[in-house]
Chains A and B, each alone.
Chain A
């Protein structure tokens, strides 16, 4: 579109400003020594005042990790990670002791959160959202604790849960994602720094959306958060994970583990709007996002749904999955994955049908632009005992421009004759006709692309909690700036 090249160039000039969260906060940090060995692990454990059993758990994971090799089957290419050249623990120096209330929090930290638009103070909060903010490796403050305590909901950093609710943690930690599940999960088990713990008691509908913001600030530091959410019988909880990271030239590693457990008739809704720094237009810098997320629908009639909007990170490797163990359980996966410039994503889901009358639904929208590579990798597996299992998968790819790639690799395995598995995939592009139509109606190019792409993603955006749907839509537009032209 020659006539529009000028417009595109003007936009490209602004590219430096595009990722508006790319600032760095100048705060003195406390770090463990560089590299990974038993001493670093002890250091981390000591910093968090962990009980002996937790330290042992970590050390055992570290021993197993040393024997494993990094997986290489995904369609992502990256320079070898030097695991000994990373800091595995970083915390703001001024947070030596846990703050009692917001007045105790380092004002510079609070300012960072303000810049990010995260409302830490109770007055400015988005109606009814309890926010637990994680600044690098340490949770800074938890708001709305009182209201949740009243409902019996436990929502706290995992480091706190390890000390205050050891029985709960011991009961569930590592039961959905076993320590040796995969290379990055094992690494995480050894060095996880912080994360969220949620427990919703029987029959309780969590009175508000729970949310956690993560931020990777210190350079050369990996972020290894660990999240565990347990919904007891008949309970409901909706949780949102949002992330940002500063712009730097070197890559940063993010290897998280999320475990969800839904007991009988319980429901967990887990949404992620991920906006890690994707690297610049030349492919420099950016986050390596290697995450293991799994939900266990343990109880009869339980339900777990994953909704994600992934627009950042240089390399994404994640497969939020559901194990449909309980009879009548339901698993859902809604995803928008956008890759632009030199990003690479190999992401998807696994739905494992074990129980009877289980249902799963997958809607995946992949958008690829620039020179990016976007791969959907999914597994639907029906075990011989999964009587009457039902699955429907819709996976659509949108290509913007002639230099990117969109790939779909679905594995469909059925071993029960009464199961019905259906899968559809389409590939398309934004047609010149659609674009011209919008232009002629006065909608400038960037906005037109955002409009059309949001239309493409509508099925998934509808699944997000409302406040975050709006942010997600904006994010979609920002991620695709400069992609058409």
Chain B
């Protein structure tokens, strides 16, 4: 059984059909990339997997470890191990980052029937994971994402991924707005989380990220459909000939 099975998925947003029949499977242990031009439906796919309101599944299915994912609320999906790293992480003024992390962590543990961690243990855990991503103590004590640079926000997303240890991680254009150094740091963080028990879906516009996070399969999304699939070298081919070449040929 694959960890993620998407079967002929049709999704409508604001009355307009964006995903027109996506079929995609990701087994545990693999990293798949979805690439596509703007407007192809990449973010729609990631929001649908996370359960955002307004993204209506009109037909098709999404199975997560054999369970119908679309029947679950976002926080239920999170408790079951689905993580979405956003393209534009949200700021929440007045909510200290550390407080947020502890709340989320324990909410998920509670939902799974696991014992909650106290403040001291959470802090220790957070510090460990934060060090690798070069996230300092001062960032942890600031309100969530407030005044963070683009790179800092993305690193914060990866920190959360490291903390929550999801089984399925969906990274939505994690590379957008990052320079090379920030990109490398983020990629290292993501690679450190690759494991046989984990599946990842990396959504990106540019090939660049995939040189650092090398995928097992690459899918091209255009006009709401997957028009081509291949190995990691498909990404390089796209870089050479652009999306037009590949999309037309499909």
Contacts and interface: CB of A to CB of B under 8 A. Distances in A.
- Indicate whether A and B are direct neighbours in the complex (CB within 8 Å): yes
Given A436-B74, A444-B107, A456 B93 contact: yes
A455 B99 CA distance: 10
Contact of A442 (B53, B95, B107, B143): B107
Contact of A454 (B95, B105, B108, B160): B95
A451 interface: yes
A442 B112 CA distance: 11
A457 B94 contact: yes
Given A2-B53, A441-B78, A451 B103 contact: yes
Given A4-B53, A436-B74, A442 B94 contact: no
B22 to A, nearest CB: 20
Interface in A1-46: 1-4, 6-7
8 contacts: A434-B90, A436-B53, A440-B75, A440-B78, A441-B78, A441-B104, A451-B92, A457-B94
Interface string A428-454: 000111101111111111010001101
B64 interface: no
Given A7-B73, A451-B103, A441 B94 contact: no
B132 interface: no
A458 interface: yes
Given A433-B90, A455-B95, A440 B50 contact: yes
Nearest to A447: B107
B69 interface: no
A2 B53 CA distance: 7
Given A3-B51, A445-B75, A452 B92 contact: yes
Question: Most B CB atoms within 10 A — which of A6, A438, A459?
Answer: A438
B89 interface: yes
Given A1-B53, A3-B51, A455-B143, A440 B95 contact: no
Given A443-B103, A454-B94, A437 B53 contact: no
Given A445-B75, A455-B94, A458-B94, A437 B111 contact: no
A459 B96 CA distance: 12
Nearest to A444: B75
Nearest to B160: A441
Contacts of B103: 443, 447, 451
B52 interface: yes
A448 to B, nearest CB: 8
B79 interface: yes
B75 A442 contact: yes
A432 B55 CA distance: 13
A6 B79 CA distance: 18
Contacts of A452: 92, 95
A443 B104 contact: yes
